[in-house]
Chains A and B, each alone.
Chain A
């Protein structure tokens, strides 16, 4: 290759690497700045900072909307993960183990929450739930239950995707051998299939949790007094002010998700999830 090197090669490589560097800066700089500013001592953002402090974290925790938002996001994320696993794992098994003619259609329907844009799906669900409330008197919109329903729905495609991926990747001969040796299908599932796909199930669950935790567009329509998630609390605050307190809140969200991601990566290479 070296004998072909011309000055054009060099410019080409510099341009490609320069643009790629710019791309990664565009991704990293906003996250890095929000983390950095959260430690600034001044109440307003000042550069260079006069000093560093952890006070804004305490301040954020003492503001009920952030504390309650954080706890609400944790609770909703947990319920959404459980529901999406309970209904998603059987669906994934079905999708991975059938050649049924309607398989493609079922898969498309189940990935629907990923395809329909959040704002459209969120407004539709909002109208549906209010309409339901008018018809039956049961309030679901703007309650914990409504948030859980919406979040289970957005988590579902991810659970199904990750669990299906591990099912397709596993060696079926072991299952078949067990069946040949007389094991009942449920025993095979419990003793062979389940342990083999456990990493996929863990990863699917953790992924579902993250997707639920950071959701904005759907929650927007369904939050109410006493049931507001952390991302909604963040953007509501941002409409009025931008200061180290909100940077601290954002940093807590970054830390929480990084933690979950590190755990997920142990079970399932993140690079395979997309």
Chain B
């Protein structure tokens, strides 16, 4: 530090005392916005999830666990939760398989131009929004979409293949929607891992596979874990992909929350669905972090 800043310090703190009140007030407007736009609504929803459903009235009345019981005793809803977890797990797996190599290439490339191009190539699709990217997948995968038309022209198939409204279609679009989060998270972690470790392993005779899986992957485990977690949480809550590419019979949790809240207008049940979704995400997050911590030590 130079002498200027040491001289300025006492004066700075004296001035701060003068403006203490307005300074402390600076975050208040935004805190109010979050309080009224998010926190109070969440509290009200918690209340609704314990209310008795009355089709004639939306006022929350009574105190019951009926809504949660309905969810866990009805095999239909349990299956929806199961499918949601399954789809989220598969999406996370594919995002890891594609995202780790992509981030590895970004962080190990020697060309700054390629690096910038690839980073922008992952950020820009992210900012385009889900609606546009889902539209892209529908253009590709529809019965008369680009993929089927190409297969027909090339005489690979005689009739269009059903790709839409399958698990494959949902996974393709979900992976594309969430992959940028994975790549960006991983790339910033990979950048901090010194290439010297891999070189040392290579010098000592380790084949690249061994160096990658025994040295690089364990070193970057915290980043891989947080990237995986982010993708998992976001896919548990996915809306557009299951609705549009999964079709009306591919039920997942987020679309069901919407349906119950807006179409059926059963708020107590919608509220409990939303909390089950949040709680399931939370439990799986905690369990997976405990398991991974046992395997790889503290993160």
Contact = CB atoms under 8 A, between A and B. Distances in A.
Interface of A: 1, 4, 6, 8-9, 12-13, 15-20, 22-24, 26-34, 37, 44-48, 83, 86-88, 90-91, 93-95, 97-98, 100, 106, 109-110, 112-113, 116-121, 123-128, 130-131, 134, 149-150, 152-153, 156, 160, 172-173, 176-177, 179-180, 185, 210, 213-217, 220-221, 230-232, 234-235, 238-239, 242, 246-247, 250, 253-254, 257-258, 261, 270-271, 273-274
B209 A87 contact: no
Given A26-B98, A113-B37, A152-B37, 13 more contacts: A1-B199, A12-B207, A12-B212, A20-B105, A23-B179, A30-B136, A91-B31, A94-B24, A98-B23, A121-B38, A153-B34, A177-B4, A242-B135
A235 B59 contact: no
A172 B199 CA distance: 41
Contacts, number: 318
Interface string B265-276: 001001100100
Top 5 A-B pairs ranked by shortest CB distance? Answer: A214-B129, A30-B136, A47-B149, A176-B8, A128-B41
Contact of A4 (B7, B32, B135, B203): B203
Contact of A271 (B39, B41, B116): B116
Contact of A127 (B39, B41, B150): B41
Instruction: With a 10 A CB-CB cut-off, give which of B18, B37, B44, B277 has the most chain A CB atoms.
Output: B37
Instruction: With a 10 A CB-CB cut-off, give which of A4, A86, A100, A160 has the most chain B CB atoms.
Output: A4
Given A119-B274, A271-B119, A176 B140 contact: no
B221 interface: no
A153 B102 contact: no
A107 to B, nearest CB: 9
Interface string B111-154: 00000101111111101111111111111101011100110110
30 contacts: A8-B207, A23-B102, A23-B179, A23-B183, A27-B122, A28-B121, A29-B140, A45-B139, A47-B146, A47-B153, A106-B27, A112-B34, A113-B37, A116-B42, A118-B237, A120-B237, A120-B278, A124-B44, A127-B48, A128-B41, A128-B44, A232-B131, A234-B131, A238-B131, A239-B243, A239-B244, A247-B139, A250-B132, A253-B129, A274-B123
Contact of B98 (A8, A23, A32, A131): A23
A121 to B, nearest CB: 6
Contact of A214 (B105, B131, B176, B179): B131
Interface in B21-70: 23-24, 26-27, 29-34, 37-42, 44-45, 48, 58-59
B73 interface: no
A45 B149 contact: yes
A34 B98 contact: no
B11 to A, nearest CB: 5
For the residues of B in contact with A, the DSSP-based class is helix
B43 to A, nearest CB: 9
Contacts of A273: 123
B32 to A, nearest CB: 8
B261 A121 contact: no
Contacts of B75: none
Contacts of A238: 131, 134-135, 138, 244
A119 B128 contact: no
Nearest to A182: B11
Contact of B209 (A12, A19, A94): A12
Contact of B262 (A23, A33, A126, A216): A126
Contacts of A121: 38, 41-42
B291 interface: no
Given A87-B29, A231-B130, A231-B131, A48 B153 contact: yes
Contacts of A231: 129-132
A37 to B, nearest CB: 5
A271 B123 contact: yes
A88 B239 contact: no
Contacts of B262: 126, 220-221
Contacts of A214: 127-132
Nearest to B164: A242
Given A30-B140, A31-B133, A119 B258 contact: yes
B240 interface: yes
Contacts of A16: 101, 104-105
Contacts of B142: 45, 242
A273 B122 CA distance: 13
Interface string B138-181: 11101011100110110000000000000000001101100110
Interface in B223-245: 233-234, 236-237, 239-240, 243-244
A127 B212 contact: no
A38 B152 CA distance: 21
Contact of B239 (A119, A128, A179): A119
